[in-house]
Amino acid sequence: MTSKAAELGRQVRTQAGHVRGQQRDASGVLAFKGIPYAAPPVGPLRWRAPQPPTPWTGVRDASTFGAGCLSSLANDHRPGPRAEDCLYLNVWTAAQEADEKRPVMVWIHGGGFQFGSSANTATDGSLLAAKGVVVVSFNYRLGIFGFLAHPDLDAEAPSGNYGLRDQLAALSWVKANIASFGGDPENVTLFGESAGAMAVGILMASPLAHGLFHKAIGESGAFWDGRHGPLQSIDEARARGVAFARRQGNASIAALRGMPAEQLSAAAPWSFRLDHVTASFSPSIDHHVIPDVPARRFLRDEQMHIPLLAGWNSAEEFPFMSLSLPAQSAQAFRAAAEAMFGRERLADFLKLYPADTDAQAKASAAALTGDIVVGEQCWQWLRLHRASRAPVYGYHFNYTSPYTPIASHVSEIPFVFGTLTPQGVIGCTTQPAEADRALSQAMMSYWVNFATRGDPNGPGLPPWPAYDETDVVQILGTTIEAGPNPQADRFGFVGSFRRDGVLPMRWRVVT
């Protein structure tokens, strides 16, 4: 005689203790927020690998979000609590019983590894969960808290990339606990946008992530290349850490660990004028979490061989215009392009990024910025992973409407989650209309289908072909249809400068 499965209610037992979430909403979704997946990374645990959460007795309240990491973004007015004690996650599930083994989707938020949190209203997981998946989101250490490297820290353990190790710890928590929420720990899709997508690509190339997720979705990011070249080396990261300590009066690691968190954060501000790859406390090739340049790992077929869905938006340059080549005039733009790409390639460049007039140069500078900072690396991700023979699906998001007048960076997120929150990056507060809601429903279904079985296709949806050598992607626009990659020639030009998967180091010094 088989016993009846345990009913899933507001109170759930995790390995560290019981949690009580919110009541089911109108769609039957339970939400659990602010669950610790690691010990607070404060005091002696600052700049150490995440440690297991301290078990608790009784029932822990899980009805409100935990604090996000302190932001490195100067004058960051985003809402929500922030603290160094930030290693918390959230779970949304509509499962009625604990043994349902629903597909799991784990979201990594963006923000250049400098700002952001899982409390963003645009990424509320309720509506995705109502479609049959269990959704998890989490916070991780950012900026100097997540990515300081220093020789004295290396004497303890490999330094830098603490934020990436937080992500691995969150995935380990999911593997150990998600079955109690009705999820399947053997069917986990890792998805993210911008820095979140770049983390997905990095973790696909990390041996430490093997077995922690089984499918990947990347929105507007891949390898963490940037305007000034590839991911920083550990030597570059250490030099940045040593220089920071010197600015704090030649402070020792012990002294830096003793600084108040807010003071430490204020001493390491970041803005969009700084390259988030090469001029920031951000991921580095530490030969531990990241063994090599991620694109090189993909080129050598050393990444996880799992299904991948990835793509980019048509106007990724928002909000990265401060990283553009000088374009105050056509002459200035052409001169900067020649310095970056070489005189022998300038004619080819100008065919793709014309600069006959000042206005044309400004438009080309914007297009180039979007291509280098985001688009080309997403395209490389698709091309390189196809060789693994795992299923690969590519998309190009170019949808516009009064609600989304520009298909900018981050503009697809409210469609993916169904939240259709205001498009703040482009300053638009127009309410969504029926066409916006229809596209959102289609995208949610594609994402959930992919998370379920590694294929976005399903009943009632326009067919989405697998990505192959024809470079056909799914156009997510006013009409959803498969079509040739509209930026293939431009991406091919930028990609031609890669050697063994790596962009030129000389771009480090090109203005």
pLDDT reported for residue 5: 64
- Supply the mean pLDDT for the chain: 96
In CATH terms, the fold of domain 21-508 is: Rossmann fold (3.40.50)
Cα–Cα dist 1/4, whole Å:
10
Active site residue 302: no
Amino acid identity for residue 267 in this structure: A
- Candidates 117, 219, 409, 440; catalytic one: 409
Give me the residue spans of the domains in the chain: 21-508
The predicted-structure confidence for 130-149, as pLDDT tens digits, reads as follows: 999 999 999 999 999 999 99
What's the predicted TM-score (pTM) here? 0.97
- Candidates 126, 159, 180, 194; catalytic one: 194
The predicted-structure confidence for 448-480, as pLDDT tens digits, reads as follows: 999 999 999 999 999 999 999 999 999 999 999
Active site residue 316: yes
Of 26-30, 85-89, 262-266, 274-278, the poorest mean pLDDT is in: 274-278
Q: Count CB-CB contacts under 10 A for residue 131.
A: 20
Q: Is the pLDDT of residue 511 over 70?
A: no
Q: Is the pLDDT of residue 3 over 70?
A: no
- Selected residue with higher pLDDT from 425 and 376: 376
Task: Look at residue 233 and give its three-state secondary structure.
Answer: strand
**Token representation of residue 259:** 């600084």
Contact between 100 and 136 under an 8 Å Cβ cutoff? The reply is: no
pLDDT reported for residue 2: 45
Contact between 129 and 212 under an 8 Å Cβ cutoff? The reply is: no
**Token representation of residue 382:** 């698709």
Active site residue 288: no
Confidence of residue 227 (pLDDT cuts 50, 70, 90): confident
**Backbone phi, psi, residue 409, to 5°:** -55, 135
Cα–Cα dist 30/50, whole Å:
27
> What is the arithmetic mean of pLDDT over 185-202?
98
